[in-house]
Amino acid sequence: MPRVSFASPTTIDEAAAALAGASGLAKVLSGGTDLLVQLRSGRIKPDLIVDMKRIPGMIGIREEGGKFVIGAATPGVMLSDHKALEHAYPGIVEGVDLIGSQQIQGRASLAGNLCNASPAADSVPAIIAARATCVIAGPNGSRREVPAESICTGPGRTSLQKGEFLIEFHLPKPKPRQCDAYLRFIPRTEMDIAVVGCGINVTLDGGGTCTDARVVLGAVAPTTVIVEEAAQALIGHKLDADTLARLDAAAQKACKPISDKRGTIEYRTKIAGVLARRTAAIAFERAAAR
C-alpha cells in the first residue's frame, strides 16, 4: 500500500512551504469531492496531501471595498446561502447549485471546481463571465492576483507553479443594471456532467441596450471559452431576434468540442447556440429588473 503524507496547516505560509518542499507529487485538498475520487480510482498517486480547511480565511465570504472576497475552500452551500452574493450573482450561484447533490455541495469549493480543470466545471463559466480574479499564494510569502480564466490551461492542467495554490476569489460588486445567468444542458435531469454550459454577464443602459457583456462557454473545448464575438453580438443592441441570431451563430462558431457518449460534435455545437440564446434572455431580464 503506497504511503501518503497528510498535512493540515493553519497558515498560508506553512501550506506553501509544505507544498514547495514536497519531493514527489503534492496535492491541495479543499472539499475533496474530486481529489478523493481520483485517489480511490488510482488516477493520481500523491506523496503529500495538504488540507486547506484549517487555514483562517480559506472558508468564508466577506464584502470588502466594492467586492466580494470568497475563501478558496468555501463550500457551495455557503455561497448559495449568502443572500447578498446570490442577489449580485444569481448565475454564479446557479452554477454552484448544479454541482452534484446537496451532500457534494456541502464540501465542493470554487477553487476545487476551477483547479480540477475540467472543461465542464459548472461554476467556472459564470465566474469568468463576472471577471473574477484569483489570489494565488506561493512559497516565501509570494502573492499574485490573476484573472480566473488564466488558471486552466487544458483538461486537468493549470498554470499554478510548484508550491502555489488559490487562497481567494475576488468578485467586483455588479454595476447598476448588471446581472448574470448560467445554464447547462445534461442528458439526465440531475447529477450529470454538462454537455454544454453557458455563463453570460450583461450590463444594460436605462433603455435596455447592452453596454457590456461577457459570454463564456463550458464543455465545448479543452478549456472554458470566452466568446468575444458573442459579446460583441450583444453590445450596443437590445435583445431582439437579430441579436439572438448573431449570438447563436457566434457561440456555435467558437465551439471546438469532442464527440463522446453525451453528444456528438454537431449536437454540442447546436446546443451551444441554443443555450447562449436562453442564458442571454435570462441575464437581460434580470439586468433590466435592477
Strands 5-7 and 48-51: parallel
Tell the smallest beta-carbon distance from residue 117 to ligand FAD (Å): 8
Residues that bind ligand FAD (CB under 6 A): 27-35, 37, 52, 72-73, 98-100, 104, 107-109, 111-113, 115-116, 121-122, 160, 165-166, 191
Q: Which is nearer to ligand FAD, 34 or 248 (CB)?
A: 34
66/169 Cα distance (integer angstroms): 13
Q: What is the CA radius of gyration of the chain?
A: 19
Q: Which is nearer to ligand FAD, 107 or 177 (CB)?
A: 107
286/280 Cα distance (integer angstroms): 10
Tell the smallest beta-carbon distance from residue 181 to ligand FAD (Å): 17
By beta carbon distance, the residue nearest ligand FAD is 112
Tell the smallest beta-carbon distance from residue 135 to ligand FAD (Å): 10
Tell the smallest beta-carbon distance from residue 287 to ligand FAD (Å): 25
Helical ranges in 235-264 per DSSP H: 241-253
Q: Which is nearer to ligand FAD, 219 or 250 (CB)?
A: 219
Which run of H or of E encompasses 84? helix 83-88
Tell the smallest beta-carbon distance from residue 69 to ligand FAD (Å): 14
Burial (Cβ within 10 Å: 0-12, 13-18, ≥19) of residue 127: buried
- Going by C-beta distance under 8 Å and a sequence separation of 6 or more, which residues neighbour residue 37? none
Q: Which is nearer to ligand FAD, 32 or 139 (CB)?
A: 32
Q: Which is nearer to ligand FAD, 183 or 250 (CB)?
A: 183
For every residue of 130-174, DSSP letters joined together read TT-EEEEE-GGG-EEEEEGGGSEEETTEESPPTT-EEEEEEEEPP
